[in-house]
Amino acid sequence: VKFVYDFTEGNKELKDLLGGKGANLAEMTNLGLPVPPGFTITTEACKVYLDSGEEPAALRDEVSAHLAALEEKMGKRLGQADNPLLVSVRSGAKFSMPGMMDTVLNIGLSDTSVQGLAAQAGDERFAWDSYRRLIQMFGKTVLGVDGDLFEEALEKAKQAKKVTVDTELEAADLKKLVTTFKKIVKKEAGRDFPQDPREQMDLAIKAVFDSWNGERAKLYRRQERIPHDLGTAVNVCSMVFGNLGPDSGTGVAFTRDPASGHQGVYGDYLQNAQGEDVVAGIRNTVPLAELEQIDKKSYDQLMRIMETLENHYKDLCDIEFTIERGQLWMLQTRVGKRTAGAAFRIATQLVDQGLIDEAEALTRVNGAQLAQLMFPRFDENAKVEQVGRGIAASPGAAVGKAVFDSYTAVKWSRSGEKVILIRRETNPDDLDGMIAAEGILTSRGGKTSHAAVVARGMGKTCVCGAEELEVDTKRRRMTVPGGHVVEEGDVISIDGSTGKVYLGEVPVVPSPVVEYFEGRMHAGAEDADELVEAVHRIMAFADRKRRLRVRANADNAEDALRARRFGAQGIGLCRTEHMFLGDRRELVERLILADTEAEREESLKELLPLQKQDFVELFEAMDGLPVTVRLLDPPLHEFLPDITELSVRVALAESRQEPHENELRLLQAVHRLHEQNPMLGLRGVRLGLVIPGLFTMQVRAIAEAAAARRAAKGDPRAEIMIPLVGTVQELEIVREEADKVIAEVEAASGTNLKLSIGTMIELPRAALTAGQIAEAAEFFSFGTNDLTQTVWGFSRDDVEASFFTAYLEKGIFGVSPFETIDKDGVGSLVAAAAKAGRATRPDLKLGVCGEHGGDPESVHFFHEVGLDYVSCSPFRIPVARLEAGRAAV
Ligand code: PEP
Ligand code: MG
């Protein structure tokens, strides 16, 4: 195998091997754009190193060969005393992990070559500044020295000189600083800063490999569901310098606004600075547009390159560039992260520009983004007290208590508080706090600062660079213009869509996207919201493309109507036990505890009209669309009085010598019916089989409701579903009784009700014998909640709160199997049962109604295994429609 690729050898398709950065550097090189020469060490080399603890044997020689070629091209040797070649060593994984991985710049500088660099650049200050940066970065990331020690030394040097910014330090000051830095390294790392440039490079490469398994990187991968075994590539790139004076600088740019999607000039530029200064948000940048005044030639060239890149990648790109004495260099590009709203707008804009087609547009958005757009926003009409405004870095409306450090953010959020993390600027150490917070507010840094980039990636509300806010993290407070002080614990509100910061809690209103789905806002209207317009079009693309139908889990008319507005094509699961909670619970309790036939009949008779009315309403709301009504499936205990409470009542009555006959009788019954594992007990079809008349009452209610709707000229399409079936015999018995009742109602009403009867597949045995079960079922609906519970042997009510965190931390699974379908286990049973069922009955209708029906990744799986529909809660329907469309691309 080949472990090292020159930039001229790769291309953008090789992200697995070269990482995102390396693949795109190669792509730009091959497009003829000005990229400083260099080479990429593959993720394969990293994987060998991570697996064995040693770099692959061939790596050293390959690096030597590529370095020699680079030196040849540049006409100078790495660290050459009089004219040194300097390189950067940067990580670059397949998926970008902003600020998570390590980078070392200026490799090749030493006590001797620093003189050479000074002579070559004609700038002694620059050379010493570069050298101190190398020792600082190398010390921190390669040798593990606490970075604050360097920062403190730098701060002291500035104080001693009575200056405030780094650039005011002169060569002599920096020279002294280098000596201090070397001492810090020696003391903290127990070794000298290496003077041999090749040793510097080799150690830096190894450090990048190691950084893959750093805590920050691991946490980020878990968050973003990036697999842990991909490894990172390492890019070795010849240095260009943005800190060679006012005709140099460095910046970042987007080909479109990553927040709105609008085309224009978006980015930040920092004169006389090196790359990391911008990303870290350490000094304040100027808007990119100002570069036109500073350096028109480079600006024009940059605009042309951005156009080339957008047309080539057919997408929003973000770019890092450096200008070295008037010469523009491209340091990085990639398809840029964007806000959810921008993703929808950009996708439709690109369709309109003819760059991509509808199907491609669907790949540019996803259900998680749509879900995010459905969050509420601040009420525009609310009375507010605005105290500042920063950059709208990541949209959303966040309200919470002010906290000023990551630790408190985590602690408070664990105890159920909503918090806003306020920092001057964030760095990778703040990641935990950012995850815990509702939103992030910083007083420094631009749209590309760490806070902004990471928050956008997480879909978290962020306002950054709110400069008029004085953040004092030491005293845990923030002073706002006018002198008011926000202390830790005070409630504030931040709007990531406008950048506004408010005191107190601002009320929130529904998102325009929800208003649109609800039919209260229309696409195509004169004043239509741009975002709504884009969502409307993308949803139409998805609906045209998808094969899966989307139904709702709903058990009342209100939810059903909402589901219908949101695009539901029927109800896939009406849980009738939900119709028996509240006032009616007592009726069910009486039914269950009935001692005599007469008592039982009595309660059934009372329940029947109530049930029938429920169904009439539901069928009316869903007129013309299928409604799957599931017969009662409660774990029994949910309908019985609490055993402890009841015992206490009985004991009290006894001690007070009060009459308690009824309580005692009830207690005895509850004892008799008490189960250790109610979830595996008398529920679902089992209940229907042991309580005579229960299921037939429900079937009668369904049939009579359907007949009533027919009489009212409606078009009811009811389907009767039997829960928790484990064997075809259970189903056959229920079916026989149900068919009898349906025939009676049909005869009485003189209509053919066309009711179909099917079952849930939610037990392993049902899945394994699906071929037999299909003999007695006209449809299957996979109950993946119970199926996950029983296949894994995980109690669905307990495990997520008990040991799942540990499982997630250990990487046993990346996400709870109750959230995203476990394809290998539960999923393979679903696939096999679907196949076996269809073998018995080719027109068997197949759906899923567990929580997974609204989960993006799971929707793709259900599409792949050939189900007919997914059913999910009303609010997730748009997401399911979109993902079903995406799955069909
Ligand atoms: C299921 O088990 O997946 C299901 C939909 O039924 P319930 O959640 O009501 O048990
Ligand atoms: Mg179930």
Closest ligand to Cα 782:
1
Pairing of strands 38-41, 4-6: antiparallel
Is 593 a domain residue? no
Q: Is 22 helix (H, G, I), strand (E, B) or coil?
A: helix
pLDDT digits (tens, 9 = 90+) for 807-861: 876 778 877 898 899 999 999 999 999 999 999 999 999 999 998 999 999 999 9
Buried b (16+ CB within 10 A) or exposed e, 50-66: beeeebbeebeebbeeb
Q: Are residues 172 and 280 in the same domain?
A: no
Q: Are residues 734 and 856 in the same domain?
A: yes
Question: Is the Cβ–Cβ distance between 233 and 18 less than 8 Å?
Answer: yes
Distance from chain centroid for Cα 739? 47
Closest ligand to Cα 783:
1
Q: Are residues 729 and 616 in the same domain?
A: yes
818 CA → ligand 2 middle, Å: 12
Task: List CB contacts of 159: < 8 A, sequence separation 6 or more.
Answer: none
In the 8-state DSSP scheme, what is residue 498?
T
782 CA → ligand 2 middle, Å: 9
Tell me the C-alpha distance between 545 and 83, whole Å.
Answer: 60
Question: Is the Cβ–Cβ distance between 756 and 742 less than 8 Å?
Answer: no
pLDDT digits (tens, 9 = 90+) for 399-457: 999 999 999 999 999 999 999 999 998 887 888 899 999 999 999 877 667 788 778 76
Question: Is the Cβ–Cβ distance between 189 and 139 less than 8 Å?
Answer: yes
Tokens 């224009």 belong to residue: 264
| Tally of domains within the chain | 5
785 CA → ligand 1 middle, Å: 5
Q: Are residues 321 and 418 in the same domain?
A: no
Tell me the C-alpha distance between 799 and 805, whole Å.
Answer: 9
853 CA → ligand 2 middle, Å: 13
Tell whether ligand 1 has an atom less than 6 A from the beta carbon of residue 573. Answer: yes
Tell which of 307, 335, 363 closes a domain. Answer: 335
500 CA → ligand 2 middle, Å: 45
Q: Is 758 helix (H, G, I), strand (E, B) or coil?
A: strand
Is 466 a domain residue? yes
In the 8-state DSSP scheme, what is residue 212?
T
Tell whether ligand 1 has an atom less than 6 A from the beta carbon of residue 783. Answer: yes
Tell whether ligand 1 has an atom less than 6 A from the beta carbon of residue 268. Answer: no
Q: Is 793 exposed, middle or buried (0-12, 13-18, 19+ CB in 10 A)?
A: exposed
Tell whether ligand 1 has an atom less than 6 A from the beta carbon of residue 762. Answer: yes
The CATH number of whichever domain residue 274 belongs to comes to: 3.30.470.20
Tell whether ligand 1 has an atom less than 6 A from the beta carbon of residue 497. Answer: no
Is 646 a domain residue? no
Tell me the C-alpha distance between 582 and 204, whole Å.
Answer: 66
Across 694-818, where does the E strand assignment appear? 717-722, 756-761, 779-782
The CATH number of whichever domain residue 769 belongs to comes to: 3.20.20.60
Tell whether ligand 1 has an atom less than 6 A from the beta carbon of residue 591. Answer: no
R_g over Cα of the chain:
33
pLDDT computed for residue 98 by the predictor: 65
Is 45 a domain residue? yes
Q: Are residues 361 and 380 in the same domain?
A: no
pLDDT computed for residue 107 by the predictor: 97
733 CA → ligand 1 middle, Å: 22
ipTM of the complex: 0.99
Q: Which atom of ligand 1 is nearest to the CA of 783?
A: 3
Which pair of structure tokens corresponds to residue 660?
């308690």
Torsions phi, psi for 197 (to 5 deg): -60, -35
Q: Are residues 612 and 745 in the same domain?
A: yes
527 CA → ligand 1 middle, Å: 43
Buried b (16+ CB within 10 A) or exposed e, 750-774: eeebebbbbbbbbbbebbbbbbbbb
Is 463 a domain residue? yes
Cβ atoms < 10 Å from Cβ of 595 = 9
Q: Are residues 331 and 344 in the same domain?
A: no
Q: Which atom of ligand 1 is nearest to the CA of 781?
A: 5
The CATH number of whichever domain residue 70 belongs to comes to: 3.30.1490.20
Nearest CA to ligand 1 atom 1: 783
Helices then strands, each counted (H, E), the chain: 36, 31
Q: Are residues 499 and 478 in the same domain?
A: yes
Nearest CA to ligand 1 atom 4: 783
Region of residue 752 (phi > 0: left; psi between -120 and 50: alpha; otherwise: beta): beta
pLDDT computed for residue 796 by the predictor: 84
Tell whether ligand 1 has an atom less than 6 A from the beta carbon of residue 578. Answer: no
Q: Are residues 393 and 362 in the same domain?
A: no
Q: Which atom of ligand 1 is nearest to the CA of 723?
A: 6
Cβ atoms < 10 Å from Cβ of 657 = 7
Q: Are residues 68 and 203 in the same domain?
A: yes
What stretches in the chain show pLDDT beneath 50? none
Q: Which residue out of 722, 849, 855, 870 has the highest number of ligand 1 atoms within 8 Å of its CB and is therefore the one to mutate?
A: 849
Q: Are residues 66 and 100 in the same domain?
A: yes
Distances (CA, A) of 280 to 453, 515, 534, 722, 806: 10, 38, 33, 59, 33
Nearest CA to ligand 1 atom 10: 786
Closest ligand to Cα 630:
1
Is 866 a domain residue? yes
605 CA → ligand 1 middle, Å: 27
Which pair of structure tokens corresponds to residue 132?
């101190």
Q: Is 695 exposed, middle or buried (0-12, 13-18, 19+ CB in 10 A)?
A: buried
Is 783 a domain residue? yes
Q: Are residues 454 and 351 in the same domain?
A: no
Q: Which residue out of 551, 555, 573 has the highest number of ligand 1 atoms within 8 Å of its CB and is therefore the one to mutate?
A: 573
Nearest CA to ligand 1 atom 3: 783
Tell whether ligand 1 has an atom less than 6 A from the beta carbon of residue 849. Answer: yes
Domain of residue 270, residue span:
249-335
Tell whether ligand 1 has an atom less than 6 A from the beta carbon of residue 555. Answer: no
- The set of catalytic residues is 450, 849
Is 667 a domain residue? no
Tell whether ligand 1 has an atom less than 6 A from the beta carbon of residue 850. Answer: yes
Tell whether ligand 1 has an atom less than 6 A from the beta carbon of residue 784. Answer: yes
Nearest CA to ligand 1 atom 8: 785
Q: Among candidates 392, 473, 491, 394, which has minimal Cα distance to 430?
A: 473
Q: Is 457 helix (H, G, I), strand (E, B) or coil?
A: helix
Tell which of 190, 217, 238 closes a domain. Answer: 238
